[in-house]
Each structure stands twice: as structure tokens, then as C-alpha cells.
Amino acid sequence: MMTNTRLFSTNKDEGQRHVSFTFNGMELTGYEGEPIAAALLANGIKTIRTCEVTKEPRGIFCGIGHCYECRAEVDGISNQRTCMTPLRSGTQVSSHSSWQIEEARK
């Protein structure tokens, strides 16, 4: 899913390294330090989680940490706002928390 939606701009941050990370086990790349949600979007991924109540797919909405729609488990910690969590090399992002996966397996 390597749709390229990166933009060229005059005010780009400088010196960003490419790093690998995973999303639900899928290996992707992004820029070190950018929000995880940006790296996902750059890979063409708009759906970040499933709404627990309505079962609808959900993704970025407010983009600045107010709505919590972009939340995911990051390196084992659940409910991280991916629009505000910086990407690092080897970051593991999951749509469901570990306990939800365990429950589903039972």
C-alpha cells in the first residue's frame, strides 16, 4: 500500500530519516519524528481503528489530539493519539490493544 501522498513544500522540516515501523503486523516506512498518523496517511492508510460501539471504521478527524478518533496501541501502550505520537524506528502500531486480541482468540 505504497500510495504516495507526500507533499512538497517550502516549509518542510529538515533532516528527517526514513524509518521502518509496523501497523497491524504490516511493515511500512515513514519519517522519524513525524506523527504516526501522518506516516499511516502517507502510506495511503486512512482507517486506524474500529469504533467499539458502532463497528464503523474510523481514522483521523481533528488531527490535534482533541477527538481521540486516531487512537491505537503503540509499542504495547493502548489509546495513544497517533496524530500526536512521534514515529521511531521499529515502532509497533496496532488497531487493537493486546487484551482485545487475547479476548478475540479465546
Partner 1 sequence: MDDLIICRCEGIRLSEIRASLREGASAVPGVKKRNRVGMGYCQGRVCQRVVSELIASETGAKESLLQRAQSPVRPTLLKDI
Partner 2 sequence: MNVDVAVIGCGPAGLTASIEMAQSGLSVVIIDEYYRPGGRLLGQLYDDPKAPVHQRRWDGKKVTQELVEQAIRLGVQIVCGVTAWSVAPRWKVELSGSEVKSVQAKALLLATGAAEKALPMSGWTLPGVVSVGAAQTFTNVHQVAIGKKVMVVGVDPLALSVAMEMKHAGIQVVGIALPSQSAVTGKLSSPEDALSKLAEAADLAPNPFLRMMGRLVAGSLRKVAIHALSLPLLRLEGIPVYLRKAVARIEGEHEVKAVTLQDVTVQGVPTGREERIEVDAVCLSAGLYPLVELAQVAGCSVTHVPELGGLVPLHGKDLSTTADGLYVAGNITGIEGAKVAMAQGKLAAVSIVQSLGKAPSMSKDDAMHAVEQARDLSPIRFLPQILEGRAIMDQLWQEAWRKKEGGQAWMI
* DSSP per residue, 30-69: EETTSBHHHHHHHTT----EE-TTT--EE--SSSSSSS-T
Q: Kindly tell me which of 50 and 106 has the beta carbon lying closer to partner 2.
A: 50
In the complex, the residues that contact partner 1 under the rule CB under 8 A are 51, 53-54, 58, 61-62, 66-69, 71, 79
Told to check if 46 binds partner 2 by CB under 8 A, we report yes
Choice between 34 and 67, CB closer to partner 1:
67
Please identify which residue in 20, 24, 65, 75 interacts with partner 2, judged by CB under 8 A. 65
- Note whether 60 and 70 are within 8 A (CB): yes
Q: Which of 75, 26, 23, 14 is nearest to 48 (CA)?
A: 23
Full 3-state SS string of 75-95: CCEEEEECCCCECCCCCEEEC
Per CB under 8 A, does 68 bind partner 2?
Answer: no
Among 2, 5, 15, 55, binds partner 2 (CB under 8 A): 5
Binding site for partner 2 (CB under 8 A): 5-13, 34-35, 38, 41-42, 46-48, 51, 54, 56-66, 83-86
